[in-house]
Structure 1
Amino acid sequence: MSDAQLLLEAHGEDAMVACGVRLGRALQPGVVVHLQGDLGMGKTTLSRGVMRAFGHRGAVKSPTYTLVEPYEFGELTVYHFDLYRLGDPEELEFMGIRDYFSSHAICLVEWPARGEGILPPADLVINIERKDSGRQLQLSACTAEGLAVLGRLRAAA
């Protein structure tokens, strides 16, 4: 496995949240994370862990119908996108999608392929698959920022 990839495993919901907390602690403003995996693989559960890393204690639900849910943490906003029900990528233009992706925000995008051609490229892609009774998360860095996230994850292990 190269420096641009990292494998994590999670066995159960609590372990997936813990992976999200670990990831959240490694993220910096300006990072775009694409979350890929079939329905029920734990993308939203992982996102809940990311929010907990920043101090959020409330519910984190998938913004399937609203497309985006903002979480404010002082100067930082984490935007959680779920594009599962997106009919056409052009709809993202109408909602002002480019305004969300700033150097002061972290963007977590579930079902990013549905926004292809409109979404900015990912710094980090996380593919979640079933492995035995748990999940395997393959993290792939796509940019220098993504490599830095993987470096911080490795250093914190």
Structure 2
Amino acid sequence: MTHTRVEFISRSPEDTQTFGKRMGQMAKANDIFLLTGPLGAGKTCLTQGIVWGLGCHEYARSPTFIIATIYQGRLPIYHLDLFRIESSLELLDIGVEEYLEGEGVCIIEWADRTNDLFPLDSIKINLEHTRNRTHRKITIIAPDTSSGNLLRDLVSGF
């Protein structure tokens, strides 16, 4: 499977939320967003935007202690935080398949904690700190399908 890779610099948390909102507006059932990056890089900020773009008006918070939060927008939104997960077996024990195979959109923070359970056509998003403390480098890797083409258009228009 070939992939599209796009990068851009977000200049503020609001920029990151706006970009996420556009992604949410484009999201379709069964999309899986795998978010990675260090603490404070903007994973939850991007998630807030995606949730808003999917038509949910709640303020998404990182579900670190409860692992999963479900929001309702134009599609169900499954927000998972794997920060405290130590193995794939733990994820299987909590029923991660329900979220991955559901009819909604799945947003997984700290997805690099366990990579072996996620479909190959998932959209990978890495957020990194830059030298400017408010800027973030966002790298997106998506399959060369309609998702890859839409993301390329989205980034070029941002």
Which residue does 1:92 correspond to in 2?
Answer: 91
Query: Partners of 1:114 and 1:108 in 2: how far apart?
Result: 14
Q: Secondary structure at the match of 1:100?
A: helix
Moved more, 98-107 or 81-90: 98-107
What does residue 14 of structure 1 align with? 14
Tell me if the contact between 2:19 and 2:46 (Cα under 8 Å) persists in the aligned partners: yes
Count, aligned residues: 155
**For structure 1, which runs of at least 5 residues remain unmatched after alignment?**
none
In 2, the alpha carbon distance for the partners of 1:68 and 1:120 equals: 19
Structure 2 Cα separation of the partners of residues 4 and 37 of structure 1: 19
Shift of 1:146: 3.6
> TM-score, normalising length from structure 2?
0.86
Aligned to 1:153: 154
What's the counterpart of residue 145 of structure 2? 144
Q: Which moved more, 1:41-50 or 1:58-67?
A: 58-67
- Deviation string 1:87-110 (CA, Å, 9 cap, x unpaired) is 222011111111112362111111
Counterpart residue identity of residue 53, structure 2:
A
Point out the more displaced range, 80-89 or 102-111.
102-111
Which letter does structure 1 place at the counterpart of 2:13? E
Q: Please state how far the C-alpha of 1:19 moved relative to its aligned partner.
A: 1.1
Q: 1:35 to 1:20 in 2, by over 3 A?
A: same
Which residue is 1:107 aligned to? 106
The residue number in structure 2 matching 1:65 is: 65
Deviation (angstroms), 1:44: 0.3
Residues 36, 126 of structure 1: 8 Å contact kept: yes
1:36 aligns with 2:36: yes
AA in 2 matched with 1:147: G
Q: CA 1:89 to 1:83, structure 2 compared with 1: closer, same or farther past 3 Å?
A: same
Identity of aligned residues (%): 25
In structure 1, what is the Cα distance between the partners aligned to 2:121 and 2:61? Answer: 22
More off after superposition, 49-58 vs 27-36: 49-58
Report the aligned-residue RMSD: 2.3
Q: Distance in 2 between matches of 1:144 and 1:60?
A: 28
Q: 1:143 to 1:123 in 2, by over 3 A?
A: farther
The alpha-carbon deviation at position 13 of structure 1 amounts to: 1.2
Aligned counterparts of 2:12 and 2:152: Cα–Cα separation in 1: 25
